[in-house]
Amino acid sequence: MKYFVLNFILSAFIVTSAEAAGNPTQVGLNFSSKSVLGIQGEFDISSRFDNAPVTAQVFLKNYSHNDTSLDTWNSTGIGGAVIYDFNTKYQLDKKFHPYVGAGLIYVIHTWAGIGPEKKYTGAGSGLYVTGGVKYSLTPLVTTDFSLNNFGSLTFGVSIGI
């Protein structure tokens, strides 16, 4: 399963990079209420979906937690999602872009602590879901407030390249 997820993410990145050559591309950072730090790229793939307002998003997120110097937890997720923008459907102000998205995520967990099992490493994959609203501050700078299943409530800033 992990090879399927990694192949999906890599192929989505390659396809969207090629597709996005003449379209807006955004790269950004985000931080969540659960102390998850992430980077992401978003690429316009609407031409593949009859010009529907669809983008592809690839991301890398990390969560680290230290109770003590002996007790640490780290989770790193890499994934990709397809995002649907409701702005054109409901003809909203051009600065507001409510959206929903779904995709796949592959997560690696490591834990080191005290007790009978002093170290643990594991991995898993699954469904990634997100929804939120983007607000365009300028034609190149966008803020993003979202709720997702890896980080909970998230705030981000993206720059168009």
Asked if residues 53 and 85 have their Cβ atoms less than 8 Å apart, the reply is: yes
- With a threshold of 0.95, does the pTM exceed it? no
Full residue range of the structural domain in which residue 35 is found: 2-160
Instruction: State the CATH number of the domain containing residue 154.
Output: 2.40.160.20
What is the distance between the alpha carbons of residues 57 and 64, in angstroms, rounded to a whole number?
A: 23
**pLDDT over 90 percentage in the chain:** 61
Question: Region 105-116: what's the mean pLDDT?
Answer: 87
Query: Rounded to 5 degrees, what angle do the CA atoms 36, 40, 135 make?
Result: 90
The stretch 106-123 carries a mean pLDDT of 86
For 40, the token pair is 């992401």
Q: What is the pLDDT of residues 41-50, one digit of tens each?
A: 999 999 898 9
**Count of domains in the chain?**
1
139: DSSP letter: S
- Given this model, what pLDDT does residue 39 score? 97
20, pLDDT greater than 60: no
The per-residue pLDDT of the chain, averaged, comes to 85
DSSP E strands in the chain: the ranges are 25-32, 36-44, 54-68, 71-85, 96-112, 119-136, 141-148, 152-160
